[in-house]
Amino acid sequence: NIKISFRNMEHSDALETYVNEALEKVFKFIEREPEPIQRQAAPIQKPAQQVQPAAPAPTLVNPSTGRAPVTRAGVLAAENAAAKKAEWDKPLPAGTFRGIAQFMGYASYSACVAEVSVQNNIVKINRLVFALNSGHVVNPYLTREQIEGSVAMALGAIFTPEISVENGRIKEQNLDSYPLIKLSSTPRIETVLVPSYDFWGGVGEPTICVVGPAVANAISAAIGRPVRNFPLYKEGLSLA
């Protein structure tokens, strides 16, 4: 069987879960508590006596294309906005765990914080908090609707069986063999829009790509081991 990926989802799933796992090991090695919100910067900070004066923050727009390049400032701004909205510094109820992920693609910066609980290998996603910098936001209401729709698509992709090819044909012919997630499985969704007004980026696609790794990182925190296989039924996990 041939597994068919959905655009950038598997790329971001692999990258962000790997970064999360690697940095946990780094912080453990240097005997520091993880700082997931500043993870791009924290592991590479220089000793105080070697720190150079801060350079001006880079612009988020490429003058030749009108789109945002990948910058650490842009990535951290989206992550920090999501973390602030999710109240990352406040403790969660017992049995609830957080994960975070970011993605720069479709000319936008996006980030997601997931709050999950896991019992008997059944995952309940309690809350998803998104931050999006798409440069400009023409209609905030429709932008939030796009993000909410991306959640349903992304959760279906990471939990339900993948589409496969058998004897040159798609094996899953209809929704009886490729189920969609149910409304009861859709978590609470919150969104903060942080447009910088200096480029034009996408809306629905970028946020699809942060759902999987944010949820996987939260699950890893809950079960105490890395989550490396998608769809998550391969990890013995199912969605409540």
pLDDT value for 16: 66
Compute the radius of gyration of the chain from its Cα atoms: 18
First-to-last alpha carbon distance for the chain, in angstroms, is 27
- Residue 51: its pLDDT value, please? 43
What secondary structure letter does DSSP report for 164? Answer: E
The count of other CB atoms within 10 Å of the CB of residue 77 is 20
pLDDT (0 to 100) of residue 175: 83
Residue 215's pLDDT is 95
Token digits of residue 236 = 């013995």
Residue in this structure with the two tokens 């995952």, named with its chain if needed: 123
How confident is the model at residue 130, as a pLDDT? 96
pLDDT of amino acid 48: 41
CA-based nearest residue to 1, from 157, 165, 163: 165
Rounded Cα distance between 152 and 181, Å, is: 7
Q: Which residue has tokens 């447009």?
A: 195
Q: What is the pLDDT along the chain (240 residues), one digit of tens a residue?
A: 333 334 445 555 566 665 666 666 655 655 555 555 544 433 333 334 444 444 444 455 554 455 556 677 888 889 999 999 999 999 999 999 999 999 988 889 999 999 999 999 999 999 999 999 999 999 999 999 999 988 888 998 888 877 889 999 999 888 888 877 888 889 999 999 999 888 889 998 888 999 999 999 999 999 999 988 888 999 999 999
Residue 220 in contact with residue 17, Cβ under 8 Å?
Answer: yes
